[in-house]
Structure 1
Amino acid sequence: MLLQCAAFGAVTAVLIVALGPLTHSIALVSPVVYSLVGSVSSLGPLVAARWIRAPGSLLLTALVASLLALPFTALGFLIVAALGLPALAAELVLLASRFYPRPREAFWYLASAVLALVLFTISLVVIDPAVMSPWVVVFTFIGRMLSVLLLAAVAVRIEQALSRAGIRRRYRGRTGS
């Protein structure tokens, strides 16, 4: 599990660093548009949670991604909180719903919505007060929710594609060969 989380985290870190200049520019221009684009950093942890299906995989992947991207982002150490807190919230929902032993789609999307809610709350702290208005808040919330739920659906598709490609999961209790 650790190696898989590290691999998904590394891909996520590369994505964060590669899109960094674009996302920072968008964040300065429009918080609403950023809410749609900035959520892409959640894709790797969401895919890891779907594929690995082990408690802690979402959180561990987010933490690995944040630590790898840390030296290359303008956020510095704040990236650990920006990726870790939403992942922790989603992980708690998945654990409480017993998603890992018995996956149910409703709980998957509930956990993703909670992740989006925490991301939205974090983004409220960094929105420039000069552009803050009720409409900006509402559309930022809608943007976060839509983008993370879309990424959750993409994670399901990636999981299915990996299975169709013949890549096997690690199953618990199974002796290796």
Structure 2
Amino acid sequence: MARNRFELLLCKFHLANNEECPFNDRLHKIQCLVDMLNRNASLCIVPEETICIDETMIPFRGRLSFRQYIKGKRHKCGMKIYKVCFDGDSLKIYCGKEKIEGQSVAESIVMEMLQPLLDDERTLYADKWYQSVALAENLQKRSTHLVGTIRKNKKGLPKTVVDANLKRGEIVARQNQNKVVVMK
């Protein structure tokens, strides 16, 4: 396709009415497309017992109010997207200020994205950014298990597990009253 034709089509391509844009919705112009992708993915594929949640960066260097810079990522600058990974992915674009009162940012994102997948005895695998005892307890109430590594400075971890000096081949584990097991 010629560049001029592409630019002409691009300037005429709109997914939402600009006059109906709410003040604080940064994704208003493309939200219907993101919702359609998520809806179609959930219609086509039924997730298995195991699911995974992770974030990824889409490289972007233009002007964008919610552009992220994360030093440890391969593409350090761009748009951050949270994904629930199974045979068909579900995604959420990070636009800043995701925190719900009484929950951590990671906990609120996990609970929001897994809402249609909860209560079906699934197992969620997540990295250490998402892990917490509070999230494990909330998921346990909704018949979903959480597996992954956890940072030793997270709240709610048993001191006997965190402070244990282990020799090669030894393990120590503790279970709380909500049946959440922490093991080292």
The normalised TM-score by structure 1 is 0.30
Whichever structure has more helix as a proportion of its residues is: 1
Q: Which has the higher Rg, Structure 1 or Structure 2?
A: 2
State the structure with bigger RCO (CA 8 A, min sep 6), 1 or 2: 1
Give the number of the structure whose residues are more often strand, by fraction: 2
Q: State TM-score, norm by structure 2.
A: 0.29
